[in-house]
Chains A and B, each alone.
Chain A
Amino acid sequence: GNSVTQMEGPVTLSEEAFLTINCTYTATGYPSLFWYVQYPGEGLQLLLKATKADDKGSNKGFEATYRKETTSFHLEKGSVQVSDSAVYFCALKGVTGGGNKLTFGTGTQLKVEL
């Protein structure tokens, strides 16, 4: 079945530091890949997505590239801000067995300090 593995947190960074949150996946075919963000007390929000190999999703300074050869979709940001503190979830939507179902990773908490 489909699965998503992402690095455990919490990740603590100073403001303006470079961020990488690793995400790898297991799926048949070519799933769509997503990063969701959950700010404290709020629901999950779609941050970015990529639907095919080599696509790069980007939003709010965050980027992730769909790497089929390494089955990865690592999240990066060049300079984090305190307001980026949240929990980040990597997810995939498979192409078989119910194409609307999302499979999530365990989430990575990011704390950005001044």
Chain B
Amino acid sequence: GAVVSQHPSRVICKSGTSVKIECRSLDFQATTMFWYRQFPKQSLMLMATSNEGSKATYEQGVEKDKFLINHASLTLSTLTVTSAHPEDSSFYICSARDLRGGINEQFFGPGTRLTVL
């Protein structure tokens, strides 16, 4: 099966600092990755679609200057939370789209718990 990893799994940072979260597809190439945010007892909210070699597509209401996405290779997308504030504390989950064999399925990473003090 397809495996997606995220790093770090947990991060605690001070308000005003920037945090980078990595999403890697370990055994397949992904031209498209997705970044989600999950609040406690709420569903996953799509933040943006990350396309390899081009700009990310952000969902309505998501600040692109706040949440910087870079998809520089076919196996790595990064989400940088800039000038983090306590309200950015959340669980961030990425997924990578696997098109091998025409299956077109998203495989999810284990998530990153961000806590901003």
Asked whether B46 is an interface residue with its Cβ less than 8 Å from the other chain, the reply is yes
Contact segment of B11-19, B61-69, B70-78, B107-115:
B107-115
Within 8 Å by CB of A104, from B6, B41, B43, B49, lies B43
Q: Whole-angstrom distance from the CB of B62 to the nearest CB of chain A? A: 13
Enumerate 27 A-B pairs (CB-CB under 8 Å) in ascending A order.
Answer: A4-B43, A42-B110, A43-B6, A43-B93, A43-B107, A43-B111, A44-B95, A45-B108, A46-B105, A89-B43, A98-B49, A100-B32, A100-B97, A100-B104, A100-B106, A101-B34, A101-B49, A102-B34, A102-B46, A103-B46, A104-B44, A105-B43, A106-B41, A106-B42, A106-B43, A107-B41, A107-B43
Category for how many chain A residues contact B: 10 to 19
Q: B42 to A100, Cβ gap below 8 A?
A: no
**Interface: B4 (CB within 8 A):** yes
Measured CB to CB, the nearest residue on chain A to B57 is A98
B83-111: CB near A (< 8 Å → 1, else 0) gives 00000000001010100000011111111
The total of interchain contacts (Cβ-Cβ below 8 angstroms) comes to 42
Is A41 an interface residue when CB atoms closer than 8 A count as contact? Answer: yes
- Do A43 and B41 touch across chains, with their CB atoms under 8 A apart? no
- Total residues of chain B contacting the partner, CB 8 A: 21
Chain B contact residues, CB within 8 Å of chain A: 4, 6, 32, 34, 41-44, 46, 49, 93, 95, 97, 104-111
